[in-house]
A and B are shown apart, each in its own frame.
Chain A
Amino acid sequence: MDILLFDPVGDIDLPERAEEKVLDTLKGKVVGYIFNQHNSSLVFWKHLEENVESALEPSSTLKVYKPNTWAPAPKDKIEQVIQETDFALVGVGA
């Protein structure tokens, strides 16, 4: 006699995503950073920021450094980056 098995894998809750925008240049744009401050990435990230700012010439930047490397950035900070920047760099070091 056949046995009927039920799938234990949960459906996925897909968050809504905003429409992607394409930028031709970052010159004159606002660049946001969300950095997790992992010990292994401190030097790299410093250079990354310096290079982005000298080579791509954004008008200003907004820096969010996570207090807990291993947890999401505070929601209000993520929202601020969404609202106030044209482009965001999200860095995960581990």
Chain B
Amino acid sequence: MQLLSHTFKVPDIAAAVEFCYQQGWTDGLPVVPPTQEAIERIIDYLGRDPKEVVGIVNPRNGIATIEKIAINCVMAGCLVEYVPIVIAALEAMLEEPFNLNGVQTTTHCCAPLVVVSGPAVKSLGFNTAEGALGHGSRANATIGRAVRLILWNIGGGLPGEPCKTTHGHPGYYSFCIAENEDVNPWEPLHVGLGFKAEETVVTVAAVESPHSIGTGAGYTSSDDVLFVIADAIATLGSNNLSGGDMVLALGPLASENLSKGGYSKQDVVRELMERAVRPVREVKRKHSIAPVSPFHWNKLVDPGDDEALVPFIRKPENLVILTTGGWGSLGGFAGLFPGWGSLGGLNQSKAVHFPKA
């Protein structure tokens, strides 16, 4: 197989790891040395031309060929079966509403979160139990890592120049979660998005790190659970005051509480749209978006009416809900990932195309 990338010779594994650092090919974590055999194993599995262009990755205008994607997946430690998921995530991030150029360069701390739903969650061994938003599985860790390395090496999302994120967050290293269908009382995420149940689907959204919500689901009413979640959503520091998307990862206990309380997923969205609000007298003290902006809350309510309520979820599709995580304590935890607002990073979904066996 003819690969087109430049090559570099190093004497041993230790030197290879150091060489990757010296070349600026990684953002701080060590990487697996990208050797020809490992790269070709991925390309053989995919059955695609290494020169095939998947897209142009901003802000660097880097050309994401199958070969370059494969190299970065090797460096991340991906199994070959993970790579179609990485490619689907990249395709989703390249859709215009995602505004990848903005996501990669904003002063906000959003990073692309990869959410996987469908049969591959089980077959590839994603962690959807204890620690589902954190550590514990090669699939979560290395798929999220590959996406970051692609954004780094192909997209040029380097901190300082041009990436201006004020703080970033730990999810910049790796940011991939998956839905647990076994404990999800509602239709799977991807089915709700219009995909077939037998498909594996990747949804990406540019979001903050997860904010823990102790919903109290083990010992309280669904009404109170919704009240607590809504309160966590409607914070003035959130960019979702300008609309846009967010991801809510409910632990199984919280989902079970809401389902047994008679709420469908659509009901939960509707309730949170109504409840996650703040009055004008409070939101008018936040001045981050120009009043002339079409996303400013003054387009929704009368800015002269101090008691008018400003919603943080403007449309049902702004709220991506999945069930994942351990049963935990009676606290019934959830993880909320606020988004970048209406400015971009809007959730995009792509079916994963695994090569035919």
Q: Are B10 and A42 in contact (CB under 8 A)?
A: no
Cα(A67)–Cα(B25), bound, Å: 36
Q: Are B16 and A10 in contact (CB under 8 A)?
A: no
Cross-chain pairs A/B with CB under 8 angstroms, 18 sampled: A3-B33, A5-B9, A6-B71, A7-B6, A8-B25, A8-B75, A9-B153, A10-B63, A10-B64, A10-B68, A10-B154, A10-B155, A12-B63, A37-B293, A42-B290, A65-B292, A69-B290, A69-B293
The smallest C-beta distance from B56 to any residue of chain A, in angstroms, reads 5
A3-B10, A3-B16, A42-B290 known; A14+B61 contact, CB < 8 A: yes
Q: Are B61 and A70 in contact (CB under 8 A)?
A: no
Cα(A93)–Cα(B72), bound, Å: 34
Chain B residues with CB under 8 A of A71: 99, 102, 343-344
Q: Does A2 contact B (CB under 8 A)?
A: yes
Q: Are A4 and B36 in contact (CB under 8 A)?
A: yes
Q: Are A4 and B343 in contact (CB under 8 A)?
A: no
Q: Does B3 contact A (CB under 8 A)?
A: yes
Cα(A12)–Cα(B155), bound, Å: 9
> Chain A's interface: helix, strand, loop or mixed, by majority?
loop
Convert B22-48 into 0s and 1s, putting 1 for each residue whose CB lies closer than 8 angstroms to a CB of A. 010100000001111001000000000
> Chain B's interface: helix, strand, loop or mixed, by majority?
loop
Cα(A68)–Cα(B33), bound, Å: 41
Q: Are A5 and B61 in contact (CB under 8 A)?
A: no
Q: Are B344 and A70 in contact (CB under 8 A)?
A: yes
Total chain A interface residues with beta-carbon distance under 8 A: 26
Q: Does B356 contact A (CB under 8 A)?
A: no
Chain A residues with CB under 8 A of B75: 8
Q: Are A94 and B107 in contact (CB under 8 A)?
A: yes
- Closest A residue, CB atoms, query B10: A3
Q: Does A79 contact B (CB under 8 A)?
A: no
Chain A residues with CB under 8 A of B64: 10
Chain A residues with CB under 8 A of B292: 37, 42, 65
Known: A11-B63, A70-B344. 8 other contacts (CB 8 A): A4-B35, A5-B19, A6-B71, A7-B71, A10-B65, A15-B61, A68-B294, A69-B290
Q: Which of A12, A70, A94 gathers the greatest number of chain B CB atoms within 10 Å?
A: A70
